[in-house]
Structure formats: structure tokens, C-alpha cells
Amino acid sequence: MDVSLLLIRPAAPEPIYRQIVGQLRRMIASGQLPPGEPLPSVREVAGVHAINPMTVSRAYSLLEAEGVLERLRGKGMAVAATHRRVQSEDKRMQLIEPHLRELARQARELELSPEPVLRRLGDLLEDEE
Amino acid sequence: MNAMTVWKTTTATIDSGQRAFMGGVLAIVSIATLSLLHYETSAASAAVFVFGFGLVFWWAFVVGRALLLQRDARLLRVPGVDRTVALNLAMQFVALVVLPATVIAALSGLRFAAVSGVLACLAIGGIVWQVLPRWASIFIVFLPSLMQSKPIRDVLPGWNDPGFAGFVWVLACVLVTLAGWRWRALLVADADGFGQWNMPMVIQMQRQVGIGGGYRNFDVNALYAAAKRTGLDRQVQLRGAGPGQPVAALRVWLGAAFAPQSLRARLSQNLYVLLPMLIVGVFMRLSLSGWRPALNWTAMMMSLFVPAMCAGIVPARLGRLYRNAGSEIALLATLPGLGGGALAKRSLLQASAGWMSRIMLAFAVCDGAVLLLGGNRPTSLLVVALPTLAAIAMNFALAYNVIGGLRISPTVIVALCVLGLTAICLTPSLAFLQTQPGSLASWDFAGVVAGNWLLVFVLLTWLGWRGRAAYRLRPHPFLLNS
Amino acid sequence: MNIVATPMHSHATDNAVLAPNEGAPLSSHGLMKFYDGKCVLRDVSLELQPGSVLGLIGRNGSGKSTLIRAMLGLIELDAGEAQVFGGPALAMSDAVKEKLGYVPQQPDALAWMRVGQMLDYVGRFYPHWDRAYVEHTLDRWMLSRNQVLAKLSPGERQRVELIRALATRPQLLVLDEPAAALDPVARRDLLRELALRAADAGTSVLFSTHIVSDLERVASHIAFLHEGRLLLHTALDDLKERYARLQLPAALASQGPFAGEIHRRRLDHGGLSLVIERDADRDWPVIAREGEAHLDVLGLEDLFVEIAG
């Protein structure tokens, strides 16, 4: 995996370790990172993004505990081989849940009725295909 | 614009310590002038010069600073300052030249035109001293003694000559023109464009910091100017300075005159002091009969000048370093290789006050030898020994206070400077006095001088004892005073 | 100002780079400092854990520099005790000093020397001086060895000082406002250097700043100094998850203080803006579930402004 695929936004309210966890999860869930794919070392991520190495290792440890990543003997981290390539729809929905909630909150604040929002979301989803 | 604003133009530009010092000098010369006029009506012209002596310093160091304000205001594009400064000058002229001249003329019977003319010359001379390039202003220090020399005295009109008042006022006009011309040039000059020889005193004063002030407006440009002026980076000898040689190492960290350098480098740095000395010595040779008196005279002048110049160097340097939280001191506190607390404390003293003492002692030995070879009586050695000893004691005592983290009140400094300078100025006349056996007058005078020195040394002992006690209590020698 | 915070301490749990077994690089208890009768530090207790990067944040004049100087034994204290690697800061041994790299806020030292000359001279005092690092970094940062230090721009001067401190291969690096004079590229470079030092050698870092974005990248912990008091000291990740801003309507403004409230500020229209903290079960306090209440998760900068503004 290329280190620069990670996008770190220090000023975001979300802690950096959560940003890393979220992005890796999504990349693995989508199959962008196949099982067995080695991950960049903590030092490499910390150096390229000028972030604290402890933050990176915290993210890795969390994903390791979840079984998403596994520690290779002497070779650092890799995407867990046992991990199903594509997760169940439920699991994947869980990953996107916080973003949907935030979207819903903003739509309510703008006093938009659900229909146009859902229609636009549908358009966007189809555009991507 | 009210009068207060105009007056503050002067006082705002110097700090309280310097203000107290200059105020003290002015007060002392005023008292001296009045008592001279009261007791010795025949010494009226001397009284004018006594007051004029104070006036020179006031105009050079206080009014000169007000002019700096004008320069800064121009750089910062602040409007209206030109007028304030001009009004301030007029105010100072009335208060310190016209008014005293009226009083002196009334008390002494001298003509007002003559007295005010002389005072005006001295006041403006103070400004000229500040704005001339350094190579020229050095000579102004020697001007009074040159005026006393025979060939010049023969040419100048005396107080009682009919053309005297006219002469001094023409001289005053020449000085005003000179000061105005130089000042206009300085107003627009780039401060970085001055080198070792042509930097005017007033610009140097703005950047350098003496005992009293300016610590807070420490800036990188000043450091650069200092570095450029000395070229120390090329002259410093770093061999033999490092861990295990704490004294040599600390002398490098203290920098400036303390850094180890070759004798040649030191001489070339101090050329601007030595050269005028040499020229004046040659001049004295021409005006006095024979080399011996000229040499004697030069040796005596040096014995007064050198200790007076060196007396404040160590505390001034240390004070500057210990007040600046980004200075060498902050790094020294975290630097390995200087030995434990007690060793580092001793080394720091040796590198600062100890080193300066060695320079002064070496000079004193040379100077004393010249005086003895010149056929002077052994008592003439007092003229070297006392000022040197006092200067060494002052460096140690004040340095102890700085590195001991104590504040010295400006009053103590003023008292010390005034007592010290008086003692230094009186000592030559004592040492060279041709005492008649049993002459009461000379013993009285000797008593006054001795008492004066005693006061100086008592004050220094007290200061030193206090500072030393505080220094010994410090956990390590590199504690910032900020 | 109405601050009801007590210093909060928490430790990063997943520490990949553990430091050798010795006293904490920096630790101080109950520091008090007065200048001319004015209290600059009020009972500050702060510890720097081995391998952590502690960002000290606060407004200008909040006492950051004084705290750093006090923790390193550069000034005497009116009360309290500061320790460096377990020994008193006011009597550091050479062994401790060799492990410490310090860059003051406006470095002026040896300004009359040339860049190379100063680095050579200072290097003599450190047995682990990394000459190769000096040469390499001078080139990388495009600094000339022959320039007089006083002639450098503030940013260049700062970089030379950073090289000086880093070349000692310190186990503890203390930087007072290191980034203030640096441009964005040089700043990122410095942060990268700090991150790599922490990763490779387990170097502990204390740095002060008022540029919050620097701190957010590289800090593992943050300490928030306000008017000489330590308001927060916590792991950075926790901070973002544990605190939030809650806006309450005017109707509720007269009530309180509420449970979990850290700081309150009255708004112009009569409402309240609170900074609240999660409770022990990591839930937001009850007041956050009030119908009219509006909860915002805050970035560090907003939190800083909210509390210190």
C-alpha cells in the first residue's frame, strides 16, 4: 500500500488515529487493499505525514484487535488473510453510519424535506457507478 | 502640544538609571559651580568650565538621545516629531545654557555674552561629539588638554580680551553648522552602513548597552553590528577551549573582549583608542620640552582612562547576557563538560572578572614602569595602583551581584561612579604634589582623597560581600535573571 | 473568566516505542513563580512521559516560556520542584545534560560566530555529537557554514539552533516556540524530524506553540496553560473525543453549573456556550440531551479559542 493514499486532516474534529482507522477499514472493505497486502511501517506513515508514531501504532493496534490487520513475524502489519474480502452489507453499512447521521443532521438544520436530499444522494451514487 | 510632551522627549529616551546618573552629574557640577563662585570669586572662569563639564555630558548623552528619537520617528514615518524635537532643543537651551549663564554672570561679574557663549560652545560641542564619526570624536576627549598646551593657548583670546565674546559665539555658530550638517546626514543614513571607524557615537549608543540600559531593546541588528565591528569570528582562538578547560571555554561563550584572541588581533581592535593616544603623545612632545614629560603625561592620562573604561565592562557584559533568555546563559545551563556547580561557579568568575583583572594588572605594571623610569617619585605609583585596584574591585563586586541574581539600585551605581571618578581625578594632584614637610594644607587634601578612596572601597566591599553570598547560595551559576 | 477545570491526566495506552527504564524525562510539581509581585506560574504540575511528544499550548504571555525554563532549571522557583530524568533540574549532572537538547525562543547565543564555527564549538561538549547529521542537514536546509549567525534571518537562525539541538542525539528535546519563525515548508520538515526522532530513538519532546495545527499533527499529549495555570493535560486523541461545545438557549442560561461543564461563556443573545466533558461511561452529560441544546464536536483550535478567548 502506498502511504500517500492516507489523507490526514489534523484540524478535523475526528482524532487522527480514527481517521487512519476509518480510511483503512473502508479501503479493506472495498477490496482496494486485498488480504495479505503489507501495510507501510509506523515510521513510514509518521515520517511522510509528519504525525506522531504513537498515533499510527494506536490505529494499527485497534485494527489488529478487530482482526482486520495481522502482525507478520518481523515484517510489520498486513491486511488479515482470514478477513473476508468483502464484508456483509450490514457491516459495510455500519461503517458509513456516522456519515449518514451527520448528513441527516445537516439536512434537518437546513429544513430540507427528505425527498430532494434522497433524490440527490441517489443521483450521486449512480454517477459513481 | 504641551510643554510636558516636549520635555518628555528627553526623558523618555533614556532609562531611569541613566537619568539618575546624568541628573546627579548635573546637580554635582551645579553645586560645585555655586560654591566656587561663592568662595573663590577669582576663579569665576573656572566655575564656568566646571558647569560646562556637566553640560557637555548632558547634551551628549541626554539631548543626543532626543535626536535619536527624531531618527527613529522618521524611520517609522511618525509625523510631527521634528517640531517636538526642535522645541525640546530650544527648551533645553534656555534651561541649561541661557538661565545658568544669567546666574553665573550675575554672581561672578563676568559678561553675560561671554559666559553664555562658552556654555553654548560646550553644549553644542556635546552634540558634535556624538554625531561626528568615531575617528573624529575620539579627539574631542583630548581637546581640553590640547587647549591647555602652550602653542594653542598663545593663539586663543583670554576672558578679558575685548574680542572674546565675539570669538566664542562665532565658534558656537561653527559648531551648530557642523552638528546640523552631520545630523541631517545621519537622519537619512542606513544604520548598517557604518563600519568600525565612521560609526558616530550616537548611533553606537543606540545599539550598545552600558550599565544602565537598553537590555530590553536588544536586537539582532545590534548583534550583527557588534559581530561586524569586531570581526571576532575570524580572530577568536578556539584551540584549547572546550570541555575539560572550563575557563577558556567560558571565555569563548562570554565573547566580546573575553574571547581568547591573539595579541595582534587585540591591538588592531583597540587601534581606534591607541592611535589618538599616540597622536596626542606626539603633540604633547611638541608642546612640552622633551620626551620625558610627554611620556609622563601620557602615562598618567592612561592610568586614569584605562581603569575608568574597564571598570564596568564585566558587569555590563554579564548583565546583558543574564537578562536575555535566549542568550549564551540559557545554553550554558544545559551544557555538559563544564564541571559541577562549584567548579563552574569558580570558572565563570575566572573567565569574566578574573580575565579583565589580568588585563588591567598587565597594563598597570607597564604604566607603573613608565612612570618610575620617567623619574617620578614612588608615590606616583598610587596614580596607577588605586584606580586599577578600584576598577578590579568594581568588576568583581558588580559581577557577583549580577550572577548572584541581585539587583543593584541606580542610586548605588551613581554614588559609586561619582565617588570613583572624583577619587580618580583627585589622585594625580596628590601623587605629584610637591609636599612641603609639615605642610598642613597638603595633609588636609591627602585626607580628603584618602577618605574618598576609603568610601569607594567600603561601598565596593559591601556590594561584593552581598553579591558573593547570594552567588554562593545559587544552585548553579547560569540562572537567568529574567 | 469562569473556569472550573482541574488538570486531567491520561496516558496513551498503545505505546509502541517504550523508553528505557528511568525517571520521567521531565516532571515538576507545584511550580510557582512570581515576577515583580505578579504570579506567572500558579501551582503547575506537569510530567513528560518517555517517548511522548507533549505540546504546550497557550496564548502569548500565558507563561509557556517561563514554565519551560523552570522545568529545565534555568530560573529559580518561588515554590515547587522540577526534575529532569529523575534528578533535580537545578543540579543536572553532565550525564543528564548530554541527553538534553534545548532551543530557546529567540536564540541569540554566540551570534558573532559563523554557522559552522558555532556548531563545531558546541559539538566539542557533546560525546555523541552527530557530525554527519550536521553536514547533511546544513545542506538539506541550504544553510551556509560561513555566514555569521547574527546575519541570518530569524527562520534560518532557528533552523541552525534546531540542528545544534538535534545533533546531540538527545533523548529529551525541549523547543520553545520552534516553529514561530519558520515558513510552512520548513515547519512541516521540523515536525517530520520530530516524528521520526520519536519513532526511531524514542526521543521525548516538549514543545510550546500557539500554532495549533503543528501541535495536532505531531503531539501525542497536550498541556494547556492559561494565565499561569495548567487547565488541561491529556492525550491529544482523548481531548478531541472527550470535549465538545454545547450551545444552550437563553431559557437555560441562568441554570447550572451543569454536570460535566468545563467552561462557560455567555453569548450576545443571552444563550450560553459551554465546553463539556464526557462522563466516566464516556457518555455526554445529561444537559446535552436537552431538546434545544446544540452539540458541536470541536477541533483543537476551536477548543483553544473557546476556553482562552
Contacts of A13 in chain C (CB under 8 A): 240, 297-299
| Dihedral sign for Cα atoms in the order B296, B298, B302, B304 | positive
| Nearest one of C98, C164, C156 to C126, comparing CA atoms | C98
- Give the span between the Cα atoms of B208 and B18, in whole angstroms: 14
Task: Say whether A50 and C188 touch across the interface (CB within 8 A).
Answer: yes
* H or E segment and range at residue B35: helix B16-39
Please check whether residue A98 lies inside any domain of the structure: yes
Do B324 and B383 sit in the same domain of this protein?
A: yes
Beta carbons within 8 Å of B10's beta carbon, 6+ residues apart: B62, B63, B65, B66, B88, B92
| Nearest one of B245, B246, B255, B253 to B347, comparing CA atoms | B246
The SS3 of residue A29 is helix
- CB-closest option in A13, A42, A54 to C297: A13
Do B157 and B305 sit in the same domain of this protein?
A: no
The arithmetic mean of pLDDT across residues C274-302, rounded, is: 80
Contacts of C200 in chain A (CB under 8 A): 43
Do A62 and A93 sit in the same domain of this protein?
A: no
- Give the span between the Cα atoms of C294 and A106, in whole angstroms: 12
Does an interface of 3+ CB pairs under 8 Å exist between C and B?
A: yes
For the segment C160-172, what is each residue's pLDDT rounded down to a tens digit? 999 999 999 999 9
Do B285 and B425 sit in the same domain of this protein?
A: yes
Average pLDDT along chain A, 129 residues, taken 10 residues at a time: 86 88 89 88 91 90 87 83 64 80 86 91 79
Find the residue in A nearest to C202 (Cα): A53
| Nearest one of A102, C101, A85, A129 to B334, comparing CA atoms | C101
Contacts of C297 in chain A (CB under 8 A): 13-14
In the numeric block, which cell numbers belong to residue B288? 612640552
Do A64 and A40 sit in the same domain of this protein?
A: yes
- Give the span between the Cα atoms of C270 and C250, in whole angstroms: 5
Do B288 and B350 sit in the same domain of this protein?
A: yes
Laid out side by side, the sheet with C100-103 consists of C100-103, C172-176, C204-209, C53-57, C221-226, C229-235
Note whether C93 and C255 are within 8 A (CB).
no
- Give the span between the Cα atoms of B250 and B232, in whole angstroms: 15
Does an interface of 3+ CB pairs under 8 Å exist between B and A?
A: no
Cβ of A61 under 8 Å from any chain C Cβ? yes
Please name every residue paired with C247 in a beta bridge, in sequence order, or none if there are none: C273, C294
* H or E segment and range at residue B437: none
Domain that holds residue B34: 3-205
Task: Say whether C65 and B325 touch across the interface (CB within 8 A).
Answer: yes
- Give the span between the Cα atoms of C29 and C83, in whole angstroms: 9
- Give the span between the Cα atoms of B124 and B122, in whole angstroms: 6
| Nearest one of A55, A60, A23, A22 to C217, comparing CA atoms | A55
What's CA A77's distance to the chain center, in Å?
16
Note whether C58 and C226 are within 8 A (CB).
yes
Q: What is the CATH number of domain C239-308?
A: 3.30.70
Please check whether residue B417 lies inside any domain of the structure: yes
A123: left (phi over 0), alpha (psi -120 to 50) or beta: alpha
Outline which parts of chain C fall under CATH 3.40.50.300.
26-109+163-227
Do B247 and B156 sit in the same domain of this protein?
A: no
Do A37 and A96 sit in the same domain of this protein?
A: no
Do B188 and B316 sit in the same domain of this protein?
A: no
Do A72 and A21 sit in the same domain of this protein?
A: yes
Total domain count, chain B: 2
Q: Which CATH class is domain C26-109+163-227?
A: alpha beta
Q: What angle do CA B339, B343, B349 make, to 5 degrees?
A: 125
* H or E segment and range at residue C272: strand C272-277
Do A11 and A54 sit in the same domain of this protein?
A: yes
| Nearest one of B184, B51, B182 to B123, comparing CA atoms | B51
List the CATH number of the domain containing A63: 1.10.10.10
How far, CA to CA in Å, does A13 sit from each of A6, A8, C240, C303? 17, 12, 6, 10
- Give the span between the Cα atoms of C74 and C89, in whole angstroms: 8
Please check whether residue B201 lies inside any domain of the structure: yes
Please check whether residue A120 lies inside any domain of the structure: yes
DSSP assignment letter at A90? H
- CB-closest option in B252, B333, B336 to C74: B333
Do A62 and A119 sit in the same domain of this protein?
A: no
| Nearest one of C53, C172, C157 to C105, comparing CA atoms | C157
Q: Tell me, what's the pLDDT at B213?
A: 35
- Give the span between the Cα atoms of A58 and A69, in whole angstroms: 12
Q: Tell me, what's the pLDDT at C19?
A: 41
Please check whether residue A84 lies inside any domain of the structure: no
Q: Tell me, what's the pLDDT at B240?
A: 83
Residue type, B326: G
| Cis peptide preceding A98, ω within 30 of 0 | no
Contacts of C74 in chain B (CB under 8 A): 325, 329-330, 333-334, 478-480
- Give the span between the Cα atoms of C303 and A61, in whole angstroms: 28
Please check whether residue B481 lies inside any domain of the structure: no
Do A13 and A46 sit in the same domain of this protein?
A: yes
Task: Say whether C198 and A12 touch across the interface (CB within 8 A).
Answer: no
What's CA B461's distance to the chain center, in Å?
23
| pLDDT tens for the 482 residues of chain B, in order | 566 666 666 656 566 666 777 777 788 778 778 877 777 666 777 788 888 888 888 888 788 777 777 777 777 887 777 788 888 888 888 988 999 999 988 888 888 998 999 999 999 988 888 888 877 776 776 676 666 666 677 777 777 788 888 888 999 999 999 988 888 888 777 666 666 567 777 776 665 543 333 333 333 344 444 444 457 777 888 888 888 899 999 999 998 788 888 888 877 767 766 776 777 677 767 666 677 777 777 788 788 778 887 888 898 889 889 988 888 999 999 999 988 788 999 999 999 999 999 999 999 999 999 888 888 878 788 889 999 999 999 999 999 999 999 988 878 887 888 888 788 877 776 666 554 444 445 667 778 888 989 999 999 999 999 999 999 999 999 999 87
Domain that holds residue A36: 3-79
Cβ of A114 under 8 Å from any chain C Cβ? no
Total domain count, chain A: 2
Contacts of C157 in chain B (CB under 8 A): 220
Please check whether residue B398 lies inside any domain of the structure: yes
Do A52 and A108 sit in the same domain of this protein?
A: no
* H or E segment and range at residue C51: none
Residue owning grid cell 517636538: B84
Note whether B134 and B203 are within 8 A (CB).
no
Do B340 and B461 sit in the same domain of this protein?
A: yes
How far, CA to CA in Å, does B279 sit from each of B272, B282, B284? 11, 5, 9
- Give the span between the Cα atoms of C272 and C255, in whole angstroms: 10
Note whether C220 and C203 are within 8 A (CB).
no
